[in-house]
Amino acid sequence: MKNLFYALILSVFLFSCSKHESVIVPRVLTETERFNSYQEGDALFIMKYGTEDRIKDDKNATGEFNIKFRDTTIFIQNSPSDPAAKTDKFTFAQYVNTQKTTILAQVAGKEGEIAPIYLINLNENKIDVISLSRPSTGAKDKEYTQGLMKVGKTGFVVNNDFFITNVNAKAYVLKRQNPEERIQGMYFNLSQDKQTLVFLTSNSLYQIHYATNQANTHVLPADKSTTSELAAIYIANNFKWVIENNIAFLKKIGGNSDKVVDISEFK
């Protein structure tokens, strides 16, 4: 009986030692950063939550996930003063660089709420967690805080405040139309060179060349911007992409009734 008791104690000890955890308080992204670091061999893993099953097809995976650095499970503690606020459960996790050293991840949140989104980056054998969150006082923040918006193969718009590229893990802080509030509009289109994001606000096209943070606003007629569908038709017949100084913006053309933008681009 004594031998059995010691065996049980030993097994519990070994099990607890094998479950390594790392609790990280995230820092906030305040300016454009590139996270495309190199790591010899795979070390940052997306796991099926609560298991040792590694996710191999992260772009199509669904469910809940853990993220591990080698054999250590990563916990994010969003509030530095509240240890109980830590979590290791994610509902979205995807590599955003070919080196597989940076993961874009969204934690599991309460139903009906947009859960926090982070970049988890491995650099020089250390894990860094970056919060993709900015304070905002916009009247329609709830409507336009939509979490992750996938933009083709190019990247992700995050809550109308950030753009994360999908190959080299570069994170851009988007220039706001009003410094005090996130962009009060819906993502609408991307330029052919994949450098300019277009948002449709209540009365205008707001465009950001995210690589340089140059912005352009074009006010739309009130009767042409009541719905996104109506705006798309108007833009398709009255705007074209114009490149000046290597920056593309949609510009209004005058006196030309020919369709200059394929409307399928806006669907």
- So what's the pLDDT on residue 255? 54
Please determine, for residue 213, whether its predicted confidence score (pLDDT) is greater than 60: yes
The pTM for the full model equals 0.87
Which of 16-25, 150-159, 172-181, 184-193 is least confident? 16-25
What is the average pLDDT value for the chain, to the nearest integer? 88
Phi, psi dihedral angles at 251 (to 5 degrees): -125, 145
For tokens 């893990």, the residue is 169
For 171, list phi and psi in degrees, rounded to 5: -110, 120
* Span 107-126, pLDDT tens digits: 998 877 899 999 999 999 99
The per-residue pLDDT for 8 is 38
Instruction: Give 258's pLDDT tier (boundaries 50, 70, 90).
Output: very low
148 beta partners: 158
Write out pLDDT tens, residues 31-51: 999 998 888 888 999 999 999
For residue 245, give Cα distances in angstroms to 196, 210, 214, 221, 261: 13, 14, 11, 28, 21
% residues pLDDT > 90 (the chain): 74
Residue carrying the six token digits 């139309």: 177
Q: For residue 38, give the amino acid letter.
A: Y
